[in-house]
Structure 1
């Protein structure tokens, strides 16, 4: 693991990764309100399409689920519901997202969440050797091998991306 240029402290995500003996890189950056994956990718000089947003959603029964999506794409909740067998899926409120994940919105990681939730990953994220995801705190990305998502996290691939740049 590389030593980060800024001080980083343990998060539930990094604790989980270390417990699982999964190597990861650390990439602190200056958090900007509403900057999201685009701002992180810009500051870290990594492709936005290789940065995964961690989105907490819920089905028609209020059951939480995690979706990992390219930083430059949106999720088709209609296609996600169809592919996961739900009747309806919608984004959680920030309060429910934090309650389900244990993370502050803008710092949500799929690793070490408070509640165990099913995880879905946009299949084309798996085309990269490494992906960048939130490390459990605002202004902090980590990189992992994409195989970790379907392996250790047991994320199931879906095809639900809507390209924000062209829609």
Structure 2
């Protein structure tokens, strides 16, 4: 599944995973601007449901947070706000998301962020046998067992997916 002949980059995310002894596989693919998880799933020949997007959002106080969502689902920000006790949650601008996470949009990983951010995960992601999540660079995903996530991230489980 990895692009042959290419070497996976070392990023803050891969350093974080190594430091925490999380097993992962590396998967490079040709990045397409605005291609999203549909492109990465197609290029890696995996279900888009198993590709997890890392979304940087803000609440009504401009406090940042990360949402981990299936690639083939959207986030109900209204439901997310309700479940997390916030008045409002909205996506950040790309510049603000980069400022909070330290990653460029399209390469955002929940691992090794610039500063620790609260992480909300769609409950059903934890039921998958394997997920593909951004490794900290555009065109680079890591494959890992979702059961390893609670060991290294402080997760809050939510049900905020919409099709």
Q: Write the distance in 2 (CA, Å) between the matches of 1:74 and 1:9.
A: 29
1:148 Cα shift? 1.8
Uncovered stretches (5+) of structure 1, i.e. residues with no partner: none
For normalisation by structure 1, the TM-score amounts to 0.94
- How many residues align? The count is 162
Map Cα deviations across residues 88-111 of structure 1 (whole Å, 9 max, x no partner). Answer: 100001011000000000000000
Per the alignment, residue 26 of structure 2 pairs with 26
Alignment of 1:23-102 (within 5 A): 23-102=23-102
Q: Deviations over 1:33-53 (max 9, x none)?
A: 111111000000000001000
Does the 8 Å contact 1:29/1:140 carry over to 2?
yes
Q: Is the 8 A contact 1:109 1:133 kept in 2?
A: yes
Runs of 5+ in structure 2 lacking a partner?
Answer: none
**Does the CA contact (< 8 Å) of 1:53 and 1:134 recur in 2?**
yes
Does the CA contact (< 8 Å) of 2:2 and 2:27 recur in 1?
no
Residues 115-161 of structure 1, C-alpha deviations (whole Å, 9 max, x = no match): 21100000011111211100000000001111122221121110000
TM-score (norm 2): 0.96
1:4 Cα deviation from its structure 2 partner: 6.3
**CA RMSD, aligned part only?**
1.3
Displacement over 6 Å in runs of 4+: none
